[in-house]
Amino acid sequence: MASSSSFSTCTLNRGSFATKAINFNKVFKCNFSSLPNRLPVSAKLSADFTCSRLLTSEKSLKLDQSQRLSRNGMQCCALEVEDVPTFLVGKKFQLDDVIEAQQFDRDILNAIFEVAREMENIEKKSPGSQILKGYLMATLFYEPSTRTRLSFESAMKRLGGEVLTTENAREFSSAAKGETLEDTIRTIEGYSDIIVMRHFESGAARRAAATAGIPIINAGDGPGQHPTQALLDVYTIEREIGKLDGIRVGLVGDLANGRTVRSLAYLLAKYQDVNIYFVSPDVVKMKDDIKDYLTSLGVEWEESADLMEVASKCDVVYQTRIQRERFGERIDLYEEARGKYIVDKEVLKVMQKHAVVMHPLPRLDEITVDVDADPRAAYFRQAKNGLYIRMALLKLLLVGW
């Protein structure tokens, strides 16, 4: 029985305890020896308690007499199970919108990644898919975008859907006339089935979701978050490194304004024994809210000024550009930060053979072009993975699992 967030907080001691009724009619077999490390809640297990069999019925949950185990005078008892998440085909997706990385748990992430792998097969082997035939997606972008907007539009079309698009809505929409975001959303939802929005203000996606009666996907809200980028980043790390627990990740560049690194940090915190290194100029250091969040979950992190040292021990070097558009009139601060940390062939020399360089793109000069030929340069594979993740999200939000 897979662990999930549906397990209740409980304490198991020698003896027995009562459990609540559960409206299932299934038999679960469990090996509890490793359960404390897998449960997302507090649970205490006796060292003698290694296995049991749970029977559920409409009346009550009780231990099957024929399977009752006794060791050193202890009888095995049952765990209460409630509302086990279902990822069965045809069931509704657990989320109504995709707004921030904190919405996802490991179960949902793993399930989304499975769907993304299915989408990769569709893209490569089944052109002309009609999964989303009859659905219409609106892309509402108040900031420039190439990869995110085009990958969403490609994802929708590859699944048989249609697209309504507006680029630079800040200047070429009624927003230029003073229309509120809420009024824009209420209007566009009348024309479409789902809205993918990028906005220059942090929190704008949450406002849109609170207004709309159709799904909203946050494609980046100012310096806030970029959850779909974080999903494709974690998906890429798993595919490139082969695991997500126990990895070391160096986040480099503009960590104060980079919404991608903020969302990625939130998702990495969901995995065990992850170490995160922040490497950035002083003027664009990672903000305290992210560091406090990681500390609260027991995630190891540290700040460093030595890119070479960090690169030598990391599985992932995640480089980002210094974002000039976030500095306003303070061009002096931008120039101070730009060019301080560059991934080049010298950095590659100290990196481990299995490690990868990632970047959300676009890049300027923070990764030299001669790095592209190295097999550890994963950023274009990373961008391709964005198509599969976004195909998966559109399918899940519109038609379910």
Per-residue pLDDT at 304: 96
Going by C-beta distance under 8 Å and a sequence separation of 6 or more, which residues neighbour residue 107?
2, 4, 5, 85, 87
Residue in 143, 123, 197 with CA at minimum distance from that of residue 384: 123
CATH superfamily entry for domain 228-384: Aspartate/ornithine carbamoyltransferase (3.40.50.1370)
Per-residue pLDDT at 380: 97
- Residue-wise pLDDT tens digits, 314-343: 999 999 988 776 666 787 777 777 778 999
Per-residue pLDDT at 97: 97
- Residue-wise pLDDT tens digits, 110-135: 999 999 999 999 998 877 899 999 99
* Fold of the CATH domain 126-224: Rossmann fold (3.40.50)
Active site residues: 147-148, 177, 198, 226
Paired tokens of 267: 């998702």
Per-residue pLDDT at 173: 60
> Matching CATH topology for 126-224 and 228-384?
yes
Per-residue pLDDT at 85: 61
Per-residue pLDDT at 111: 96
CB 23 within 8 A of CB 81: no
CB-based contacts of 359-363 (< 8 A; 24+ apart in sequence): 359/318, 359/319, 359/320, 359/321, 360/226, 360/229, 360/233, 360/258, 360/260, 360/320, 361/147, 362/146, 362/147, 362/321, 363/319, 363/321
Per-residue pLDDT at 144: 80
Q: Write out residues in the chain with pLDDT < 50, as ranges.
A: 1-71, 81-82
Mean of all residue pLDDT scores within the chain: 82
- Where are the chain's structural domains? 126-224, 228-384
| Rounded Cα distance, 36 and 39, in Å | 6
Residue in 397, 395, 387 with CA at minimum distance from that of residue 159: 395
- Residue-wise pLDDT tens digits, 11-61: 333 333 333 333 333 333 444 444 444 444 444 443 333 333 333 333 333
